[in-house]
Structure 1
Amino acid sequence: MKSQVKDNYQITVATFDKHAKQYQDKYLEFAQYTQTYDCLLSYLTEHSRLLDISCGPGGISRYLVAKEPKLTVFGIDLAPQMISLAKQNVPSGHFELMDCRHLHKLIDRNMPPFDLIACGFALPYLSQTDLVAFFAHLRALIAPQGIVYLSTMEGEDSRSGLQTGSTGDSVYVHYHQYYFIEQQLAANGFQIRDVKRQLFPAAEGTTATTDLFILAQAGA
């Protein structure tokens, strides 16, 4: 089972790496997503430090830096091509190849705490077991009263599995329910500040999904 899980992660990363440019072209300025970043603006100052987890081509960082150019950005992703694009899109940021399941490596580096942590659609590629450790790591990395932005695809775990697109490439998608994420956040001292849902239209031959957006704040 462990080897199969590892294979699924490798398949997913390889697909995102292969189609990084196409992903950027579709989602870098995708209004349905960028409008959800506005909830972070009231927490943004020129002294803010942002951790952009699974940053992709840097869409969230790019949007926030446009609002606050002095924002300090540290982004990670496991797809080399995504990191390359993020560096181009956010020249002032620092981006590294890193698995978001290995956030303990950032903790071990004794990095200053982050005021904002953004994780745009990485959760669908993490299992429930992964998420238990993931949220504990977030708590260790965030500053007191810091803000976390999360987005994922909401649904029963029974829907999880490999999905193959029109190109023939696959990703393994994990669906998560709101109550599970809420429980994990609460267990790690976060309080939910805002929740939004958007219906994502289905492509031909697929089922429509519900995108879930959560804003949470760490305790003092």
Structure 2
Amino acid sequence: MLPEDDCLASVKLFNQFAERYAEKYFDLEQYDRFYAMFAAQLPHAARVIDIACGPGNVSAYLLRHRPDLSLTGVDLAPKMIDIARQRVPAGQFFVGDCRRLHELATDCDGAVFAFGLSYLNQTDAEQFFTSLNRVLNADAVLLLSTISASESSSRYERSSSGDELLTVYRTPQKISDMLVSYGFEVQFVELVASPANAPSPTQDVVLIAKKLTQQI
């Protein structure tokens, strides 16, 4: 990929601050009720992919409450994967690009994408959803969470290290429309306030959707 790839620029920052991110968010319980809703819809021994898994916080919850799951975590930041392997030994974690999931997994019954969409521009998001379709079975369940606001709020933000990070905002309706266009039925949408320890207050959106069609 080209050096100016916005997604890779985000990965560079998350890799740099992986330990700090894990310390700050790994034990966060604010979204646990959504993970429980997701887990309740998965069949026994379901194959689940945790996309942009970070240090493995969502994977840890799922395997703690559903040890029957076969869970694969994918993140493009190597240090995040190292931490996830240490903290969640029951999962399988690999360095990989969410825009090319079909190179890493197949026949998944469920997928989690927690806050990765916030760092994908429209072209990258389209590549992600296209690839996601190729790895999910029909009737697979998707849990997606992201920062929500008007699309005009999208901007490059400067990190504490001085690097610029593209943060992409989308409305709940925009995200729902994207899911429908890729063959999902949106079953649940809820807006929640960002965690108290977030860098700045935002409004987050959590969606649960079911895959209805197989698209290649």
The alignment's TM-score, normalised by the length of structure 2, stands at: 0.89
- Equivalent of residue 206 in structure 2, options 209, 213, 219: 213
Superposed displacement of residue 203, structure 1:
7.5
Alignment correspondent of 2:42: 44
Would the alpha carbon gap of residues 104 and 69 (structure 1) be closer, same or farther in structure 2, given more than 3 Å must change?
Answer: closer
Superposed displacement of residue 144, structure 1:
1.6
Please give the residue correspondences for 1:1-220 in structure 2 after superposition, counting only pairs within 5 Å: 5-6=4-5, 8-106=6-104, 111-200=105-194, 208-219=201-212
Percent identical among aligned pairs is 33
Distance across 1 between alignment mates of 2:189 and 2:17: 30
The Cα RMSD (Å) is: 2.3
Distance across 2 between alignment mates of 1:39 and 1:202: 23
Would the alpha carbon gap of residues 88 and 4 (structure 1) be closer, same or farther in structure 2, given more than 3 Å must change?
Answer: closer
Aligned length: 213
Superposed displacement of residue 23, structure 1:
0.7
Superposed displacement of residue 175, structure 1:
0.8
The alignment's TM-score, normalised by the length of structure 1, stands at: 0.87
Kept in 1, the 8 Å contact 2:99–2:131? The answer is no
**AA matched with 1:137:** S
Instruction: Name whichever structure is richer in helix by fraction.
Output: 1
Kept in 2, the 8 Å contact 1:55–1:75? The answer is yes
Would the alpha carbon gap of residues 118 and 17 (structure 1) be closer, same or farther in structure 2, given more than 3 Å must change?
Answer: same
Q: Output one character per residue of 1:156-203: Cα deviation in whole Å (capped at 9) or x when no partner.
A: 222222222445444221111222221221122210111111122687
**AA matched with 2:14:** F
Deviates more, 1:180-189 or 1:167-176: 167-176
Q: Output one character per residue of 1:68-108: Cα deviation in whole Å (capped at 9) or x when no partner.
A: 112101111011110001111221211111111222423xx
Distance across 1 between alignment mates of 2:65 and 2:185: 25
Superposed displacement of residue 112, structure 1:
3.9
Deviates more, 1:183-192 or 1:157-166: 157-166
Would the alpha carbon gap of residues 155 and 59 (structure 1) be closer, same or farther in structure 2, given more than 3 Å must change?
Answer: same
Would the alpha carbon gap of residues 163 and 91 (structure 1) be closer, same or farther in structure 2, given more than 3 Å must change?
Answer: same
Distance across 1 between alignment mates of 2:203 and 2:82: 30
Would the alpha carbon gap of residues 176 and 28 (structure 1) be closer, same or farther in structure 2, given more than 3 Å must change?
Answer: same
Structure 1 segments unaligned to the other structure (5+ residues): none
Distance across 2 between alignment mates of 1:90 and 1:19: 19
**AA matched with 2:205:** L
